[in-house]
Chain A
């Protein structure tokens, strides 16, 4: 376990710290994560073919942030991505954001790390970056950075779904960073330092804190519960799914955008839950809406969480055991041309809304190879038919192209896009 404080004393201050970070980077590649080996404080390898934070076993905490790019200068944007990448490599290794660190620089200068993570271990921090459609062309169709012809066809704006209550000010964005960690302070620290480094180039559009992962992305993890009290992510794509990941998760060079090979598309949706109303709903109704029992998480009519749902089964009264509009039926790959998603959403509570109602819900995040074939048809299906819609409101929506991983020291996020 590398802590920032030991890194300071062991490696000395300044240049020695860089050498230390490089050594860590070169021995730990993220291609073959080993969930069993991970302790809550251990670092997750930063360099690799794919970005960390996608199949990485879901950490407990989230700080997600969407930025607007406010510079018109392509060189400045690229320079910031380089600086971000270098800072991310250090922070995910449990080190300070800058070379000098929170306490190693000149006393007269602001530190190049904000310091609130001093003494904390890496805590499984992953930083995952994505590019929104508006980075390629603005609302007026202007090619902002000479990359419009590189926009993947899969990165087209999400359609308006029935029932959407999207607030523009917390939707979209040019660049996102997903910071996941087992310690909220470490995730917040990472986002804060990237925002600081980006001043003048990017401006925070909105951000979301999440606690309590609502999905498992590894079979080594137990299925957690969302704020409605149900297990979430039972049928999720998981890092052990090998061939299925290649088919459903990772973009391929021949999908239309060669620079995205090894990357993935991320859909983010802030889903407000009408908690008080839900809590007044009978258990039977709640279970019917999800199509699973609340205690074990088994599909209705079956015994165990991971039992396959039997959509043909009839209940005692002759009606389907799993209702035709039950969530589990509508979202099931069998109902959606075998579309899978890798979800890694988080519960959120942003206090109360001024009327005494909990401002809470699910910050939904789902990775996939092509949202046009995966998220969009599944969500269309859910938005039209799902009874759950009576208890939720989608208030934020965004789509991101998450480039492949950073192969080695000196490379940077999105190098393929800007080369």
Chain B
């Protein structure tokens, strides 16, 4: 019975994410409830009040900087409790986030990169401790927030990419290709539950079944890099947008079970091990490391959503997961190239072996999560 209120809260939250207001009300001094004004600039992140009563907390984030910014509320381990992306300069947007009593971090991310400008935040009060079941319900809600944040970016980026292809702008399309895929690859486990939409959007030439056309990202990738001809790619690009719209609508409505979350976290790493390390996935563009990083981030998001339950039931596993994720981040980080990543063809066999090792080391503890969750 305790599950129901939590689930309802999620639905409200989903709306809150997209709601905008241009009239933030400053919080009264000393109050522990009421909206909290956040002043974001390119160098600062002033949070009007760093303590609030547990429950639904409202942030009004004003971007007075010159760069597009984002605002996040994190729980331990950078678990995203709520976020607003794409806050253009001059805009104010509202974030409603439900926080249990505990300590959190707020972050503004001018330029939408890096760890952001962090600050401590505390939710206080004597809210009854959540039961384990409520924790798991919150895990799926937390992950759904993440999925929605990704689909919110996937759709406009796909539109940009499709427009570039149709306009015959090869350079722009090539630059956008790995970026669009980042949002896709982060939430791939969700996409995979929608059957033939996944192969239509992300299928490679050899996995297309008889009677199905080779469409989607990789077909356009082939046109862009191998055939060097996108003059006839328009219909494929249009179809990609139709398919992405459909999957975004479905993904936003879909709620994964905690077990699906746990398995999704592992499957993302299996994707890395089988398709990205080998350079098989992006065989024409060689932008596999973009997908690699996105898969790892998606896996981390799923794991972090389950974190409260894991901390309660298997604290040692949490410690080893944190260490293994850090190891992957550090190792992958060696292959950064500007804002993006080196091409797969620029990596040596020794580099790939090292990446294989850190992924195996991470996938092993992650494979244990499902059993902990299903106890």
The answer to whether B371 and A106 touch across the interface, beta carbons within 8 angstroms, is yes
- List residues of chain A with CB within 8 A of the CB of B368: 109-110
The answer to whether B374 and A108 touch across the interface, beta carbons within 8 angstroms, is yes
A201 to B320, CA, bound (A): 12
Given the known interface contacts A200-B324, A203-B353, the answer about A108 and B371 at a Cβ–Cβ threshold of 8 Å is yes
**Interchain CB contact (< 8 A) of B360 among A106, A109, A110, A199:** A199
Q: Is A16 close to B, CB under 8 A?
A: no
- List residues of chain A with CB within 8 A of the CB of B371: 105-106, 108-109
- List residues of chain B with CB within 8 A of the CB of A105: 371
The answer to whether B370 and A70 touch across the interface, beta carbons within 8 angstroms, is no
- List residues of chain A with CB within 8 A of the CB of B360: 199-200, 203
- List residues of chain A with CB within 8 A of the CB of B357: 70, 200, 203
Q: Shortest beta-carbon distance, A363 to chain B, in Å?
A: 23
Which residues of chain A in 358-396 are interfacial with respect to chain B, using CB atoms and an 8 Å cutoff? none
Name the residue on B nearest A169 (C-beta). B349
- List residues of chain A with CB within 8 A of the CB of B91: none
Digitize A103-117: 1 where CB-to-B-CB distance is under 8 Å, 0 elsewhere: 001101110000000
Which residues of chain B in 330-375 are interfacial with respect to chain A, using CB atoms and an 8 Å cutoff? 353, 356-357, 360-365, 367-368, 370-371, 373-374
Digitize A193-211: 1 where CB-to-B-CB distance is under 8 Å, 0 elsewhere: 0001001110100000000
Given the known interface contacts A70-B357, A70-B361, A200-B360, the answer about A110 and B367 at a Cβ–Cβ threshold of 8 Å is yes
A367 to B73, CA, bound (A): 61
Q: How large is the interface on B (under 10, 10 to 19, 20 to 34, 35 or more residues)?
A: 10 to 19
The answer to whether B364 and A199 touch across the interface, beta carbons within 8 angstroms, is yes
Name the residue on A nearest B374 (C-beta). A108
Q: Shortest beta-carbon distance, A134 to chain B, in Å?
A: 16
Q: Shortest beta-carbon distance, A360 to chain B, in Å?
A: 25
- List residues of chain B with CB within 8 A of the CB of A199: 360-361, 363-364
A110 to B266, CA, bound (A): 11
- List residues of chain B with CB within 8 A of the CB of A106: 371, 374
A109 to B263, CA, bound (A): 10
Name the residue on B nearest A195 (C-beta). B360
Q: How large is the interface on A (under 10, 10 to 19, 20 to 34, 35 or more residues)?
A: 10 to 19
Name the residue on B nearest A71 (C-beta). B361
Q: Shortest beta-carbon distance, A89 to chain B, in Å?
A: 21
- List residues of chain A with CB within 8 A of the CB of B370: 108-109
Q: At the interface, is chain A mostly helix, strand, loop or mixed?
A: loop
Name the residue on A nearest B373 (C-beta). A108
Q: Is B44 close to A, CB under 8 A?
A: no
Digitize A45-77: 1 where CB-to-B-CB distance is under 8 Å, 0 elsewhere: 000000000000000000000000010000000
Q: Is B259 close to A, CB under 8 A?
A: yes
Given the known interface contacts A70-B357, A109-B370, A109-B371, the answer about A200 and B364 at a Cβ–Cβ threshold of 8 Å is yes
A106 to B368, CA, bound (A): 11
Name the residue on B nearest A203 (C-beta). B357
- List residues of chain B with CB within 8 A of the CB of A110: 367-368
- List residues of chain B with CB within 8 A of the CB of A200: 324, 357, 360-362, 364-365
Q: Shortest beta-carbon distance, B258 to chain A, in Å?
A: 10
A183 to B259, CA, bound (A): 38
Name the residue on A nearest B375 (C-beta). A106
A108 to B360, CA, bound (A): 19
A108 to B367, CA, bound (A): 10
A33 to B259, CA, bound (A): 49
Q: Which of A109, A110, A196, A200 has the most CB of B within 10 A?
A: A200
A56 to B370, CA, bound (A): 42
A105 to B262, CA, bound (A): 17
- List residues of chain B with CB within 8 A of the CB of A196: 364
Q: Shortest beta-carbon distance, B249 to chain A, in Å?
A: 30
A230 to B367, CA, bound (A): 49
- List residues of chain A with CB within 8 A of the CB of B262: 108
- List residues of chain B with CB within 8 A of the CB of A108: 259, 262, 370-371, 373-374
Q: Shortest beta-carbon distance, B349 to chain A, in Å?
A: 8
Q: Shortest beta-carbon distance, B286 to chain A, in Å?
A: 24
Q: Shortest beta-carbon distance, B302 to chain A, in Å?
A: 15
Q: Shortest beta-carbon distance, B277 to chain A, in Å?
A: 13
A278 to B186, CA, bound (A): 56
Name the residue on A nearest B363 (C-beta). A199
- List residues of chain A with CB within 8 A of the CB of B356: 203
- List residues of chain B with CB within 8 A of the CB of A203: 353, 356-357, 360
Name the residue on B nearest A202 (C-beta). B357
- List residues of chain B with CB within 8 A of the CB of A70: 357, 361
A106 to B356, CA, bound (A): 27
Digitize B243-268: 1 where CB-to-A-CB distance is under 8 Å, 0 elsewhere: 00000000000000001001000000
A190 to B373, CA, bound (A): 29
- List residues of chain A with CB within 8 A of the CB of B374: 106, 108
Q: Shortest beta-carbon distance, A264 to chain B, in Å?
A: 30
A159 to B360, CA, bound (A): 34
Digitize A180-224: 1 where CB-to-B-CB distance is under 8 Å, 0 elsewhere: 000000000000000010011101000000000000000000000
Q: Shortest beta-carbon distance, B337 to chain A, in Å?
A: 25
A297 to B368, CA, bound (A): 55
- List residues of chain B with CB within 8 A of the CB of A201: 361
A106 to B262, CA, bound (A): 14
- List residues of chain A with CB within 8 A of the CB of B373: 108
Name the residue on B nearest A110 (C-beta). B367
Which residues of chain A in 85-136 are interfacial with respect to chain B, using CB atoms and an 8 Å cutoff? 105-106, 108-110
Name the residue on B nearest A73 (C-beta). B323
A160 to B264, CA, bound (A): 50
Name the residue on B nearest A201 (C-beta). B361
Q: Shortest beta-carbon distance, B129 to chain A, in Å?
A: 26
A201 to B360, CA, bound (A): 10
Q: Shortest beta-carbon distance, B371 to chain A, in Å?
A: 3
Q: Shortest beta-carbon distance, A76 to chain B, in Å?
A: 9
Q: Shortest beta-carbon distance, A207 to chain B, in Å?
A: 14
Q: Shortest beta-carbon distance, B2 to chain A, in Å?
A: 23
Q: Shortest beta-carbon distance, A79 to chain B, in Å?
A: 11
A199 to B367, CA, bound (A): 12
A341 to B244, CA, bound (A): 67
Q: Shortest beta-carbon distance, B313 to chain A, in Å?
A: 13
Digitize A224-251: 1 where CB-to-B-CB distance is under 8 Å, 0 elsewhere: 0000000000000000000000000000
A105 to B364, CA, bound (A): 16
Q: Shortest beta-carbon distance, A66 to chain B, in Å?
A: 14
Q: Shortest beta-carbon distance, B123 to chain A, in Å?
A: 32
Q: Which of B356, B364, B365 has the most CB of A within 10 A?
A: B364
Which A residues are closer than 8 A to B by beta carbons?
Answer: 70, 105-106, 108-110, 196, 199-201, 203
9 A-B Cβ contacts within 8 A?
Answer: A70-B357, A108-B370, A108-B371, A110-B367, A196-B364, A199-B360, A199-B361, A200-B365, A203-B357
Known: A109-B370, A200-B361, A200-B364. 6 other contacts (CB 8 A): A70-B357, A108-B259, A108-B370, A109-B368, A199-B361, A199-B364
What 3 A-B pairs have minimum CB-CB distances, sorted nearest first? A200-B361, A109-B371, A108-B374
